[in-house]
Amino acid sequence: MAQKAVKTLAAANTRRLNQTLVATLVIHLFFWLFRALLFRSSFTRKSLLLYLVLASPQLLINFLFEKQSRPVNAADGSIKRAGEDLEAKGLTEYLWDITYWTYGNLLLVTFLGDWAWIFWGMIPLYSVWLAWTTYTGMRGGGYQDAAGVPQPEAGTSKRQAKLEKRGGQKVQYR
């Protein structure tokens, strides 16, 4: 049972990276086969340039995930390095969003044509919105709970707020 967490992380990373690799190959090959066989008129230099510019970030992200998160095994079969956690919050989560959005956008472009690449522009808009909400959340003094209800300052609990409302805490001496 030694290194159970490392083994679990390595197995989860391997499974997720294999699924991502298969999905990437299937979607990109489907895009190229469908465009080459059915929409030959739209198979132009402009189409190739748009594909290279807008699909390359997703391909680079997949390469980054492979490089950082693919487990490395030692010669004796033990796990040398489990890799970075692919379920991590923050930047990793955002990179997965880009990957999935590019998959969906490739399917849209496959069926609707090159003009559908405009939907890929929602990724930078989402980044700006995320940065703005983070900035405004840090700037404001209080915070809101999940329902959007403003909460008191983080330093005061409900009990402290009640005590302050009643005039402070009374000290009793015996």
Residues 155, 144: Cα–Cα separation, whole Å: 14
Tell me if 159 is assigned to some domain: no
Between 39 and 110, the more confident residue is 110
In the chain, pLDDT over 70 holds for what percent of residues?
80
Tens digit of each residue's pLDDT (9 = 90 or more) over 9-41: 888 888 999 999 999 999 999 998 888 887 666
Tell me if 170 is assigned to some domain: no
Mutual angle of helices 45-69 and 4-37, in 10-degree steps = 170
Q: Give the bridge partners for 73, in sequence order.
A: 79
Task: Give 84's contacts (C-beta < 8 A, 6+ positions apart).
Answer: 13, 68, 69, 92
Structural domain count of the chain: 1
- What range defines the domain where residue 45 resides? 4-138
Tell me if 81 is assigned to some domain: yes
Tell me if 160 is assigned to some domain: no
Tell me if 166 is assigned to some domain: no
- Which range among 25-34, 44-53, 115-124, 163-172 shows the weakest confidence by mean pLDDT? 163-172
Tell me if 124 is assigned to some domain: yes
Q: Which residues of 78-109 are buried (b: 16+ CB within 10 A; e: fewer)?
A: ebeebbeebeeeeebeebbebbebbbebbebb
Tell me if 132 is assigned to some domain: yes
- Reply yes or no on whether the pLDDT at 173 is more than 60: no
Only one residue has tokens 């004796």, namely 76
- φ, ψ for residue 87, nearest 5 deg: -100, 10
Tell me if 112 is assigned to some domain: yes
